[in-house]
């Protein structure tokens, strides 16, 4: 079963793209007891390493950055204009609270303001404010009060939320599941393999700056030069009242990414993961996403190419202050990835590669 204390700590940590240190510190805390070494790239990605008995390398990445904002401007009246970091939708912003973190670590709470609807016509009332036109109200009278608090241009602004099991406690709500869930799964795979001898060296990676261009995946891939790489990320749960319906939904088990806008899964690896799911009697679904991308978009292009695919966790309300995942999907993904790491040998890797030859 998932360690809810760990999941609460890693989701509640502040860590928008470019400012991930608090979140990587949490990941490090839970990696220290199950790794042989912990290293970083030069932009902040964390890599926990479990040594194997051969030269094989398996990398699992979950991007540890979350979407947020930075301070763009301070008005004379003391409002904070913002620059969005990552893919915000305007309708997910008004009336929500955030933390501004100053250079010296002070936290200031603000609420995203909006103009009251009273007296507006229907068209004006229904218009959504663009994320880049949003503003924070921190409850001061003027610009001087803002600067006296130590707030400066470029300070990170992180969504405020809470970690909350819902009516069915397997439904877990928090901010930053995109993609702390992937970083947590990579960590928990190594925790599950503690004391287990593996042929491959296993790398659990919390990559940075995915939301602004898959940047950590590129540097981590170049550092590790893996033979096999899994990106672990969230996908859309297709079980909402309106919209597309499919087997990819909360509680479906492991979601195997067939393709997205950045990668086509290595067919040999996809078949091996299907086989493992079936042998372990773990339910799974196949996901085709014609747009978007994950760390796989950079990982599969390292060197002469990497055997790669994405494993996803269905989520509701992605890129908002409150996203929901299902604990069963988390547990199933950890189980299947751990089994792959146990099974991989040089001979099995050659069988997987042969699917392309």
Q: Which domains does the chain have, with CATH numbers?
A: 4-66+175-354 (3.40.630.10), 68-156 (2.40.30.40)
Q: Is the dihedral of CA 319, 130, 291, 237 positive or negative?
A: positive
Q: Which residue has the tokens 């929901």?
A: 324
Could you give the C-alpha distances from 350 to 88, 204, 265, 355, in angstroms and in order? 42, 23, 17, 9
Is residue 32 part of the annotated active site? The answer reads no
The catalytically annotated residue of 9, 210, 327, 339 is 210
Burial of 119 (0-12, 13-18, 19+ CB in 10 A): exposed
Please work out, in degrees rounded to the nearest 5, the angle formed at the alpha carbon of residue 335 by the alpha carbons of 240 and 338.
Answer: 130
Q: What CA–CA distance (Å, rounded) separates 196 from 165?
A: 32
CA 163 to chain centre: 16
pLDDT of residue 312: 97
Neighbours of 303 (CB within 10 A): 10
**In the numeric block, which tokens belong to residue 296?**
């796989």
pLDDT of residue 1: 81
Q: What order do you get walking across the sheet with 57-63 strand by strand?
A: 37-40, 46-50, 201-207, 57-63, 228-236, 307-315, 254-259, 284-288
Q: What CA–CA distance (Å, rounded) separates 292 from 301?
A: 17
pLDDT of residue 351: 98
Neighbours of 26 (CB within 10 A): 24
Q: Which residue has the tokens 């490090």?
A: 28
Q: Which of 233, 203, 165, 237 is nearest to 5 (CA)?
A: 165
Q: Which of 219, 195, 340 is nearest to 205 (CA)?
A: 219
pLDDT of residue 119: 64
Helix (H) or strand (E) holding 270: helix 267-280
pLDDT of residue 23: 98
Residues of the chain with pLDDT under 50: none
Burial of 348 (0-12, 13-18, 19+ CB in 10 A): middle
């Amino acid at each position: 079963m998932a360690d809810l204390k760990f999941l609460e700590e890693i989701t509640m940590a502040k860590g928008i793209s470019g400012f991930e240190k608090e979140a990587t510190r949490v990941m490090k805390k839970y990696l220290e007891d199950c790794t042989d070494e912990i290293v970083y790239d030069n932009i902040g990605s964390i890599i926990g390493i479990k040594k194997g008995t051969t030269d094989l390398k398996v990398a699992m990445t979950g991007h540890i950055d979350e979407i947020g904002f930075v301070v763009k401007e301070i008005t004379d009246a003391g409002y904070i204009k913002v620059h969005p970091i990552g893919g915000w939708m305007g309708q997910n912003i008004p009336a929500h609270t955030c933390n501004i973190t100053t250079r010296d670590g002070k936290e200031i709470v603000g609420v995203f303001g909006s103009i009251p609807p009273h007296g507006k016509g229907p068209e004006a009332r229904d218009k959504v404010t663009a994320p880049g036109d949003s503003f924070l109200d921190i409850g001061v009278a003027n610009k001087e009060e803002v600067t006296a608090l130590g707030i400066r241009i470029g300070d990170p602004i992180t969504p405020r939320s809470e970690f909350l099991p819902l009516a069915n406690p397997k439904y877990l709500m928090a901010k930053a599941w995109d993609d702390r869930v992937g970083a947590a799964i990579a960590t928990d795979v190594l925790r599950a393999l503690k004391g287990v001898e593996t042929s491959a060296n296993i790398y659990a990676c919390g990559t940075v700056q995915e939301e602004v261009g898959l940047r950590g995946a590129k540097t981590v891939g170049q550092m590790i030069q893996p033979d096999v790489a899994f990106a672990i990320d969230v996908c859309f749960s297709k079980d909402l009242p309106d919209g597309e319906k499919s087997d990819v939904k909360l509680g479906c088990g492991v979601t195997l990414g067939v393709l997205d806008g950045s990668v086509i899964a290595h067919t040999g690896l996809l078949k091996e993961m299907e086989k493992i799911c079936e042998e372990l009697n773990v339910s799974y679904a196949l996901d085709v996403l014609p747009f978007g991308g994950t760390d796989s978009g950079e990982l599969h292009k390292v060197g002469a190419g990497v055997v790669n695919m994405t494993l996803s966790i269905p989520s509701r309300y992605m890129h908002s202050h409150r996203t929901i995942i299902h604990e069963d999907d988390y547990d199933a993904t950890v189980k299947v990835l751990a089994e792959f790491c146990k099974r991989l040998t040089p001979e099995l890797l050659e069988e997987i590669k042969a699917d392309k030859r």
